[in-house]
């Protein structure tokens, strides 16, 4: 952690006095009073604990420490002035910074993309290149700078920071459930017209395994099969049957009455959403700002 730093105004006053060796002339150069300049120099000496000027018979001279400090302070102020002028006038400092982000298709469509405009408003200099080839993270093809993925946190080539858990719900439309009754236990969901997730990590398989079924019993449950959550959601909304979907995806539809919960039991798996990035790059500007923005929305999911 840095120690206490002097203020810019105290450094400017010291620099001017070191040049003029006169408090009054330094004040005129800075449009300050002589007493204000003197006070700033004394504050600086107090902060660093060293005498910077010899004061005798109203004459000033730099001490050896003061000479060394004056040289370095002058360089710093010149550098600060130079970079400030460049930022003000040079368009190279206003170019966008690209950030390649990878996530799952449903999460991208249903959660991330509707919120990205807020990010762009707050960070117009960061350009998001959004992709859904999340297998590239597993294969470590380095096609992304940042990822938002669901899993156990085992991505060996990335730093995986837990974002939040989610809960699985059995849902359907009010129209589908009309004339039927909701059920109490997870296993009873198999009695509905069921919509399976057919991906390698299947939410529906997890649900029934947690309910105590064997893989063979699960394979015998009839119904439609789709891979992405967004397809399952559309199938449910079209009254095909009941499916298991993450709460972040369906909570708004439940609140507005388009969907209802078909089973009293819910399931919160051990897996969770993680944000992934190269730990050595965690201080990169775009990664740092995107991570900070995401964390402010983690409870929105």
- What is the rounded average pLDDT of the residues 228-246? 95
pLDDT for position 85: 77
Say which residues have a Cβ less than 8 Å from residue 209's Cβ, sequence separation at least 6. 215, 218
- Architecture per CATH, domain 168-261, reads as 3-Layer(aba) Sandwich (3.40)
Res. 89 pLDDT band, cuts 50 70 90: low
Does domain 8-91 fall under CATH 3.30.43.10? My reply is no
> Taking the CB of residue 77, how many other CB atoms lie within 10 A of it?
16
- Name the percent of the chain lying above pLDDT 90: 63
Domains 96-165+271-300 and 168-261 share a fold: yes
Q: Cβ(60)–Cβ(53) under 8 Å?
A: yes
CA–CA separation, 243 vs 195, rounded Å?
5
pLDDT for position 28: 93
- Name the percent of the chain lying above pLDDT 70: 92
Most distant pair of Cα atoms in the chain: their distance: 103
Q: 91 vs 11, 33, 87, 98, 255, CA distance in Å?
A: 29, 37, 7, 16, 47
Could you please state the CATH topology (level 3) that the domain comprising 96-165+271-300 is classified under.
D-Maltodextrin-Binding Protein; domain 2 (3.40.190)
Flag the least confident range among 89-98, 277-286, 288-297: 89-98
pTM check: above 0.85: no
Strand partners for 162: 274
Q: Which is higher by pLDDT, 86 or 84? A: 84
Answer yes or no: is pLDDT of 300 > 80.
Answer: no
Q: What is the pLDDT of residues 128-183, one digit of tens each?
A: 999 887 666 666 545 688 999 888 888 878 889 998 888 999 999 999 999 999 99
pLDDT for position 268: 93
Answer yes or no: is pLDDT of 1 > 50.
Answer: no
Say which residues have a Cβ less than 8 Å from residue 164's Cβ, sequence separation at least 6. 272, 273, 298, 299, 301
Res. 65 pLDDT band, cuts 50 70 90: very high
CA–CA separation, 266 vs 248, rounded Å?
14
So where are the chain's domains? 8-91, 96-165+271-300, 168-261
* Bridge pairing between strands 168-172 and 260-261: antiparallel
């Amino acid at each position: 952690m840095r120690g206490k730093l002097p203020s810019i105004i105290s450094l400017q006053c010291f620099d001017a006095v070191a040049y003029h060796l006169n408090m009054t002339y330094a004040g005129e150069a800075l449009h300050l009073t002589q007493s204000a300049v003197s006070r700033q120099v004394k504050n600086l000496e107090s902060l660093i604990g060293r005498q910077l000027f010899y004061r005798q018979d109203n004459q000033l001279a730099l001490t050896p420490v003061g000479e060394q400090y004056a040289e370095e302070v002058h360089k710093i102020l010149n550098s600060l002035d130079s970079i400030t002028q460049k930022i003000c006038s040079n368009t190279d400092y206003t170019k966008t910074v690209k950030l390649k982000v990878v996530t799952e298709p449903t999460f991208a469509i249903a959660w991330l993309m509707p919120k990205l405009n807020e990010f762009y408003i707050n960070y117009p200099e960061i350009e998001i290149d959004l992709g859904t080839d999340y297998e590239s993270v597993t294969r470590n093809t380095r096609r992304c700078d940042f990822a938002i993925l669901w899993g156990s946190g085992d991505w060996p080539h990335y730093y995986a920071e837990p974002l939040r858990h989610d809960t699985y719900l059995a849902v359907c439309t009010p129209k589908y459930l009309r004339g039927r009754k909701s059920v109490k236990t997870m296993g009873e969901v198999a009695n509905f017209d069921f919509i399976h997730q057919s991906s390698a990590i299947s939410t529906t398989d997890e649900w029934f395994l947690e309910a105590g079924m064997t893989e063979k019993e699960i394979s015998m449950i009839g119904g439609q099969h789709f891979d992405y959550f967004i397809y399952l959601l559309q199938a449910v909304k079209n009254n095909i049957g009941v499916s298991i979907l993450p709460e972040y995806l369906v909570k708004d539809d439940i609140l507005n009455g388009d969907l209802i919960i078909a089973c009293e039991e819910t399931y919160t798996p051990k897996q969770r959403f993680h944000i992934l990035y190269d730990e050595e790059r965690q201080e990169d500007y775009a990664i740092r700002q995107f991570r900070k923005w995401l964390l402010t929305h983690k409870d929105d999911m």
